[in-house]
Amino acid sequence: MTTGAELVSALAGIVGGRYVLTAGADVATYVTDWKRSSTGTPACVVRPASTAEVADVIKACRKHGAAVVPQGGNTGLAAGAIPDTTGTEVVLSLNRMQAIRSLDPIGMTVEVEAGAILQTVREEAAAAGRMLPIAIAAEGSATIGGVIATNAGGLNVLRYGMTRDLTLGLELVLADGTVASRLRHLRKDNAGYDWKQWFIGSEGTLGIVTAAVMRLVPVPRHTATALLSVSDLDAAIALFELAQQEIGEALSAFELISEQSVELVERHFPIKSPIETGKWSILIEASSSLSGLRDATEAVLAAGFEKGWVVDGVVAESEAQVRQLWALRENVTEAEAKHGSSLKHDISVPLVRMSAFLTDASAAVSAVAPSTGLNLFGHLGDGNLHYNVLTEAGHDAVAINRAVHDAVDRHGGSISAEHGIGRYRVDEWMRIAPEADRHLAETIKTALDPNGLLNPGKVLPAGRHHRGSI
């Protein structure tokens, strides 16, 4: 038997033959990313059913010197869960581990396995009057393990924080097959190092998340949703300051959609903006257990009109209209994909620098790719913009990425606000990150995965660590 065949047979001995996939058609959905920009060729896809099986899979892969690529719902936008093309990596899908182990509405926690679908967990929480406030368009496929491994952001970060802020406990399988479990249902736990933070957002390069305890909040009883348009970004930012004052901590989303993004959605979906579109549209959501949100939101609108910042605006009157307004925002990514190829830049800059960054970045992009289209939208309240460049044949992707990221760097920003580094941004992160940042990352990687078995080539470049049995 070849080494590959021996490994496949060892894995079949652990999880059962039908849960080790090798045929092209069986592995197809596990080897290409959502954006269809990366396709790999794995040795196999293995689907364990329990934490103990994950641990045994890791031990077997380690024995055979095979790298492991953990995968959740495969909805990431940085190719972080896709194997390379060598035919030697094992994709470890957590999609059979979907149990919701417990839900505590008083302590407001839920304990779930890594493969549980985000939407299912949110629905289960909602049935108990609680909300898991991770709101992403991919919730129907994204898994809890995936959102933790990527520290997913989304539409409500402004109010509730990133996934990191909602993760209370983790169960992990480490690179040597040890199970590390700290599944405590506690808000406060200062005993020793808070090691879960090393793994949240590490994209499966340091350990494999098998279960988690997540923080819940009460389902807000009241919400108010408004769509407004403004003629320039400074007006949008002034409006954000106003919304923070008027709506306070109940402000749960402050989303930005450019004119071009609205146009893309309207072209590819049967959706129409109900307002006169200015250069930018803003979607505001307020939510709370307390009432008065509609008045506060209308006050923002009225003051915005009075100051001359707002071109047009509407406050949703019905649940159907709320969905219509959100559809405009949530379909931008799909509309971009239907349009054609693009280069995604998931950037953040301090809000006070946003206007200057946009002017700077658009000049830098025009210099390397004249007359290119842009699809700009994102979470303005978080200073997070999806600065996506619509590309055409002949465009120099490396030059465009550098132009955008150099502008980000000049304005004190980050080249990955919420999507992670994956494989897609490794070169750029290595180019831009300060030496001490890279050194720390290497130190942690070497300490936790000395043989480089876990998701090589993601976050850090491949090949720096010796792989093989020990």
Among 137, 303, 322, 432, interactor with ligand 2HG by CB under 6 A? 137
405 binds ligand 2HG (CB under 6 A): no
Strand 109-113 versus strand 207-215 pairing type? antiparallel
List the Cα angle 452/5/61 in 5-degree steps. 25
From CA 53, how far away is CA 55, in angstroms rounded?
5
- Smallest gap from residue 415 Cβ to ligand 2HG (A): 13
Quote the least distance from Cβ 133 to ligand 2HG, whole Å: 15
Binding mask 183-222 for ligand 2HG (x = CB under 6 A): ----------------------------------------
At residue 219, φ and ψ (nearest 5 deg) are -65, 125
Least Å distance, CB 137 to ligand 2HG, is 5
**Measured CA distances, 265 to 35, 78, 331, 375 (Å):** 17, 22, 6, 11
E strands, 123-278, in order: 130-131, 167-174, 179-182, 207-215, 217-218, 222-230, 251-258
Pick between residue 397 and residue 447 the one whose CB is nearest to ligand 2HG.
Answer: 397
Q: Which residue has the tokens 């494989």?
A: 423
> Whose Cβ is closer to ligand 2HG: residue 77's or residue 211's?
77
Look up residue 353 and give its DSSP letter: G
Least distance between ligand 2HG and beta carbon 386 (Å): 4
Place of tokens 């994909």: 337
Separation between Cα atoms, residue 212 and residue 205, nearest integer Å: 17
Among 333, 348, 451, 455, the residue binding ligand 2HG under the rule CB under 6 A is 333
Q: Please, are residues 325 and 316 in contact by the beta-carbon 8 Å criterion?
A: yes
In whole angstroms, how far apart are CA 390 and each of 271, 341, 376, 393?
21, 6, 10, 11
* 344: contact with ligand 2HG by CB under 6 A: yes
**Number of amino acids touching ligand 2HG (CB under 6 A):** 7
Task: Give the nearer residue to ligand 2HG in terms of CB position, either 311 or 325.
Answer: 325
Query: How far is residue 6's CA from residue 88's CA, in Å, rounded to a whole number?
Result: 12
Query: Per rule CB under 6 A, is residue 386 in the interface with ligand 2HG?
Result: yes
- Say whether residue 271 binds ligand 2HG (CB under 6 A): no
Closer residue to ligand 2HG (CB): 77 or 212: 77
Under the binding rule (CB under 6 A), the answer on residue 100 touching ligand 2HG is no
Residue 46 backbone phi and psi in degrees, to 5: -115, 135
Q: Considering only residues 305 through 324, tell me which ones interact with ligand 2HG, judged by CB under 6 A.
A: none
Binding mask 61-80 for ligand 2HG (x = CB under 6 A): ----------------x---
| Shortest spacing between CB 364 and ligand 2HG, in angstroms | 19
Q: Shortest Cβ distance from residue 1 to ligand 2HG (Å)?
A: 44
Q: Tokens 């008045």 identify what position?
A: 295
Element (H, E) at 347: strand 346-348
Residue closer to ligand 2HG by CB (options 235, 256) is: 256
3-state secondary structure (DSSP) of residue 404 = helix
Under the rule (CB under 6 A), what is the footprint of ligand 2HG?
Answer: 77, 137, 333, 344, 378, 386, 388
